[in-house]
């Protein structure tokens, strides 16, 4: 069983269903409202665990009802929450998601306790990191903490996966040199490289630019089209599964969590892992809400399009 440790965010999502995004100054009536677990880190952890990876989490919640709810949700998903601490100084993170009738979303985030994760928390979690095949993180927690975690992971031979979301430009160059696999979407890829992703040639150019900055391998996800992968040795494009999307909120997080559950630590089976992750994401977008929509392994394998490893 693959062992995955996630350093990341824990949020409670409030999903506001609307016909379309409002124009400046416009008032729109909502057609529905739902509260669900979220946060990119927590979503990725649940995706990995439901795909039957042995999953642990490093994070922080507040001493509040949302924090208790999220701890219970992660534990119910069979995630090791030993390294999730409770803060008395901030509330658990929250996200407010505007979801339109086409399944597209815009998201506002209050980081809360996610921004309180310190280097000391990484030092406390050294054993958890050391016991993993993969360490995964995103940009919803402090970058100084991410850098400390990746430094330690590489020192003990753990493969690092970086999801550079939300997109940032002020990165320490060392972070990319410590990254084995980076997984941006097309917008995040453009932010990191300055290259607009429009076709496979531009994906190749963007991925090449990232590899020149020190990463070993790149996956650029392009929504309903699929995902492009590139290593120093090869590259290719894996098409997405065609489905009718209801809510795309956790599609990218599901992709990364599911990918890590199937990936070899030397990245040698990258195309097969991308296909598996595409399938998992295609199931996620057909349901409402982030964590409620993330599929279990049995669902990913159900129709036989993906073979059991």
Annotated binding site for ATP: 185, 221-226, 252-253, 278
Annotated binding site for K(+): 247, 249, 284, 287, 289, 293
- Please indicate whether residue 253 is annotated as part of the active site: yes
Annotated binding site for substrate: 11-13, 39-43, 140, 253
Q: What are phi and psi of 278, to 5 degrees?
A: -60, -40
Strand partners, 157: none
| 274: nearest Cα among 239, 245, 243 | 239
Marked catalytic residue, from 80, 121, 133, 253: 253
Annotated binding site: 11-13, 39-43, 140, 185, 221-226, 247, 249, 252-253, 278, 284, 287, 289, 293
DSSP string for 181-206 = EE--BHHHHHHHHS----SHHHHHHH
Separation CA 3–CA 163 (nearest Å): 18
Distances (CA, A) of 181 to 151, 211, 232, 266: 15, 10, 12, 10
242's CB contacts (< 8 A; 6+ apart) are 224, 282
Question: Which residues are marked as active site?
Answer: 253
């Amino acid at each position: 069983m693959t062992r995955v440790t996630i350093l990341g965010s824990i949020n409670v999502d409030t999903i506001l269903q609307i016909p379309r995004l409002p124009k400046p100054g416009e008032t729109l009536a909502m057609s529905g409202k739902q509260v669900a677990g979220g946060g990119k880190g927590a979503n990725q952890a649940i995706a990995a665990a439901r795909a039957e990876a042995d999953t642990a989490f490093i994070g922080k919640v507040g001493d509040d009802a949302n924090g208790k709810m999220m701890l219970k949700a992660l534990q119910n998903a069979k995630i090791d929450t030993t390294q999730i601490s409770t803060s008395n100084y901030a509330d658990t993170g929250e996200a407010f998601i505007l979801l339109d009738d086409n399944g597209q979303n815009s998201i506002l985030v209050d980081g809360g306790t996610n921004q309180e994760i310190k280097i000391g928390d990484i030092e406390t979690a050294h054993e958890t990191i050391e016991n993993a095949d993969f360490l995964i993180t995103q940009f919803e927690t402090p970058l100084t903490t991410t850098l400390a975690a990746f430094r330690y992971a590489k020192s003990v031979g753990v493969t690092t996966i970086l999801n550079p979301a939300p997109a940032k430009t002020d990165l320490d160059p060392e972070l990319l040199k410590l990254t084995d696999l980076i997984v941006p979407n097309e917008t995040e890829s453009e932010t990191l490289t300055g290259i607009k992703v429009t076709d496979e040639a531009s994906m190749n150019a963007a991925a090449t630019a990232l590899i020149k900055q020190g990463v070993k391998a790149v996956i650029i996800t392009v929504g309903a089209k699929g995902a492009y992968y590139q290593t120093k040795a090869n590259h290719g494009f894996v098409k997405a599964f065609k489905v009718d999307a209801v809510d795309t909120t956790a599609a990218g997080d599901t992709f990364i969590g599911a990918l890590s559950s199937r990936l070899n630590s030397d990245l040698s089976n990258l195309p097969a892992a991308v296909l598996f992750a595409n399938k998992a994401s295609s199931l996620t977008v057909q349901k409402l809400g982030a964590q409620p929509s993330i599929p279990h392994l049995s669902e990913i394998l159900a129709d036989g399009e993906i073979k059991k490893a």
